[in-house]
Amino acid sequence: MIGFIVRRLLQALPVLFGVSLTVFLMIHLIPGDPAELIAGQNATADDVRNVRQALGLDRSLPEQYVSFVRQALVGDFGRSFRTGRSVAEEIGERYRNTLVLGGVALGFAVLVGIGSGVVSAVRRYSLSDNLALLVSILAVSTPTFFLGLLLMLVFSVWLGWLPLTGFDSWQHLVLPAITLGAASAAVISRIMRSSLLEVLDNQYVRTARAKGLRESVVIWRHAVRNAVLPVITVVGLQLGYLLGGAVVTETVFAWPGIGRLLVQSILARDFPVVQAAVLVVALTFIVINIVTDLVYGLLDPRVSVQ
């Protein structure tokens, strides 16, 4: 298992290098000069030149990239152009908030997705199956920002049950988590339904029924237990998607996470924060994939993680 983890981490190095290089080049192609934004509208050309020199933006792009990589390897991402604080501190505070939002959204997606998928498979072609299919299609097709605004309109403006935005209590977490996890719940539901339908046709399920076991025991102890294995991989991928796709949700609900920080930093041309935030998200996605493979291998002995 140690060898497997080491190999996967080594395979991740080219990915991180490609991500860092791509982001570095893209943010430097964005129109606008961060030195002019920091210096202000009334700044002279000398003021802008001094700011650019202080930030290291007067160096060539290869020199800036090599300097960024050298510092990143030791965990130093520099200081934010916008706030002057350490980039690690800026991202650390927001990253925890994104993990909380992503974790709750994933929990919602898993519970709703597996539950609706089991009901759809057990009662295939019934009204509940067709209704679950319709809701899944709507959840996947609806843009995240539109779903978030719709939930805010219904549950905050019309009904007054939940707050619009904020970060003060668990109630502020409900609408963002549902918005972020809706599409993932739909994907998990469809995968669970397909996997369970395949398992229900196996011989050992028919044998369990022939022994006179209760239908609930047959479904949950024998069928779901084996059908859930393919869902594990999907859940791992969805967690990475939730963390990376939280940008829109955090912006709509003013959630102080890394996604909203990324948007603010792009608008402010805060190059160090943008580069570090994207690298953190990419590294998180890689770690989640490795953990998912390990969990799958532990649950299914046929899969080797040596």
Q: Tell me the fold of 96-299.
A: MetI-like fold (1.10.3720)
Sign of CA dihedral 145, 150, 153, 159: negative
- Report pLDDT for 301: 60
Give me the residues of the chain with pLDDT under 50, please: none
Distance CA 97, CA 198 (A): 39
- Report pLDDT for 35: 83
- Report pLDDT for 304: 54
Q: In sequence order, what are the residues at sequence separation of 6 or more whose Cβ sits closer than 8 angstroms to the Cβ of residue 166?
A: 172, 254
- The gap from C-alpha 89 to its chain's centroid, in whole angstroms, comes to 20
Please name which of 58, 73, 121 lies closest in space to residue 283, comparing C-alpha atoms: 73
- Report pLDDT for 136: 93
User: For the chain, which residues make up each domain, given as ranges?
Assistant: 32-76, 96-299
- Report pLDDT for 135: 93
**What pTM, to 2 d.p., does this model score?**
0.86
- Report pLDDT for 303: 57
3-state secondary structure of 214: coil
- Report pLDDT for 151: 94
